[in-house]
Amino acid sequence: MANLTLVQAITLGLIQEMERDERVLLLGEDIGLNGGVFRATEGLFQRFGGDRVVDVPLAESGIMGTAIGLAMGGLRPIPEIQFEGFMGPAFDQLTNQAARFNSRTRGGITCPLTLRVPVGGGIHAPELHSDSPESIYTHTPGLKIVMPSSPYDAKGLLISAIRDPNPVIFFEPKRIYRAFREEVPEDEYTIPIGEARTVCEGNELTMVSWGATVIQCMNAIEESDQSIELIDLRTISPIDMDTIAASVNKTGRCVVVHEAPKTCGLGAEIAAGVMEHCFLQLEAPVQRVCGFDTIMPYYKLELDYLPDAERIGKAISETLAY
């Protein structure tokens, strides 16, 4: 076992998959000699060489298009987009090409690539560096979307994503890259894509979250004296609705927490799923604690925008009051 941060767990997962499978290669802006903006690929250029850790120009559409071609040619590329706000130029390649090749060719061509993207706020970054666009991509059939909240899950989910025969977006919550450490097996292991994790069990209320906000939920639960079950989705698409429904049918209440704006956020889809599967067991309306329907503010107001333990605690109290 190794005591690792989330970003260190990602680095270890990349190293082990590159050693195991020579088809795996990395490409992105400053990922080689500089080791990436967040140093997730530090040392990999020296270890595997410039043919497998490739620095590319500042052109996200080119990064995505090149990765698609490499994947169709039998390799397993891992492109990196430096920040989630820069995904726009790659949107067409990702949603109209990568996501569709398996369907377009009736299974004849797959596109096994893993797109790594640092995501979310909390690091006092400028505009286009702190957004949470996951719901945009969950609306695209053909893509799998993953967002871990812990070092252990980060490594296991990353390895599963790299080995998946179809495109996976691996969102990395940058606010918790180095926020804490966790024991992570040094041997390779996988975590199935599409399976949520029950962080803690309870019988009065179900809380659902993913990414960095899982930590805020844990803080709110610690401050509460209620019996709360916390579910970390881990995979955003496909959603593990079975795990959510089983919990809500037990507790009768549900609070969903995420960083993204509230309107048309993934919390709305989860709330609809809860209504479909748990309606007769609900004791209260589903509550959502989210970012606001505004552009992510600059750093002076950033923490006011992001869900915190206080806002989550208020939602817990209001839901239990029914």
186 is catalytic: no
* Structural domain includes residue 68: yes
Instruction: Please indicate, yes or no, if residue 216 is contained in any of the structural domains.
Output: yes
* 143 and 29 within one domain: yes
Quick one: which of 282, 224, 272 has its CA closest to 251? 282
| Same domain, residue pair 288 and 221 | yes
Provide the residue count of the chain: 322
Within-domain flag for 189: no
pLDDT at 126: 85
Using one digit for the tens of pLDDT, what is the confidence trace for 12-66?
Answer: 999 999 999 999 999 999 999 999 999 999 999 999 999 999 999 999 999 999 9
pLDDT at 299: 82
Tally of domains in the chain: 2
**Residue in 17, 60, 134, 172 annotated catalytic:** 60
pTM of the predicted model as reported, rounded to 2 decimal places: 0.97
Claim to verify: residue 11 and residue 124 sit in the same structural domain: yes
Query: Do the domain assignments include residue 150?
Result: yes
CATH number, residue 243: 3.40.50.920
If you search the block for the tokens 């080689």, which residue do you land on? 32
State the Cα–Cα distance between residues 144 and 158, nearest whole angstrom: 12
Same domain, 212 and 170: no
pLDDT at 321: 95
The verdict on whether 17 is a catalytic residue reads no
Domain hosting residue 280, numbered range: 197-320
The residues, ordered by sequence, that sit 6+ positions from 274 with a Cβ below 8 Å of its Cβ are 244, 245, 248, 254, 282, 286
Q: Which of 29, 129, 229, 269 is catalytic?
A: 129
In this structure, the answer to whether residues 125 and 220 fall within a common structural domain is: no
Last residue of a domain, one of 184, 218, 241: 184
pLDDT of residue 60: 96
67 falls within a domain: yes
* Contact status, residue 258 vs residue 291, Cβ threshold 8 Å: yes
**117 close to 169: Cβ distance less than 8 angstroms:** yes
**Co-location of 210 and 133 in the same domain:** no
CATH number, residue 8:
3.40.50.970
